[in-house]
Amino acid sequence: MMQIFNGRPCNADGRTPREMAVYDFLDKLNISYERIDHAPAQTAEVCAEITEALSPATACKNLFLTNSKGDELFLLVMRADKHFTGRIVAHQIGSTRLSFGPEDKLIKYLGTPSGSVSVMGLMNDKNCAVQLLVDRDVYYSPFMRCHSCVNTSSLRLKTADVFGVFVPATRHDVRIVRV
């Protein structure tokens, strides 16, 4: 069983600067959160343990996307158990075909590599180059789960705090879609 901690780690030993920056930002906004540390979330087994430990938080899948021209970037936050169909989401937002965005742009704008993508990365997108798309099932859930911009630590937060406090503090808008 994974241990749940309230808030940030006691010290920064073994933590990356980008992970600590997430805790700093959340604390600055007075957003409470629970945290678990775990093996890299790269297998179904680890993800299942995280989901169980942070229940009843909605497990999220975060996809970094671009349109077919490559001139628009999106972060889609959706329930982890749903299947992404690009044309359905593209139609809802009036975009051309959506596909996965390049790793270099992910790192440039959200400050995190693939496998660690999270809504928390929006704090690094100072010019709001990435548009936030949120699946309505995530948006209307009471709690959500996300990485702290590393795939070895996960957070449980009130969804209202994420989309009502955190996202506005990053100067991004929330666009609700059906996935």
pLDDT by residue (tens digit) across 100-132?
A: 999 999 999 999 998 899 999 999 999 999 999
**pLDDT tens-place string over residues 81-93:** 999 999 999 999 9
Q: What's the predicted TM-score (pTM) here?
A: 0.94
CATH code of 109's domain:
3.90.960.10
Q: Provide the number of structural domains found in the chain.
A: 1
Question: Given pLDDT bands bounded at 50, 70 and 90, which one contains residue 41?
Answer: confident
pLDDT reported for residue 19: 97
**pLDDT tens-place string over residues 50-68:** 888 999 999 999 999 999 9
Question: With 0-12 CB in 10 A as exposed, 13-18 as middle and 19+ as buried, what is 114?
Answer: middle
- 3-state class (DSSP) for residue 90: helix
Instruction: Report the chain's terminal Cα–Cα distance, integer Å.
Output: 32
User: Residue 117: which domain range?
Assistant: 5-177
Structure tokens at 152: 């070895």
What is the sign of the dihedral through the CA atoms of 24, 28, 30 and 31?
negative
pLDDT: which is higher, 105 or 49: 105
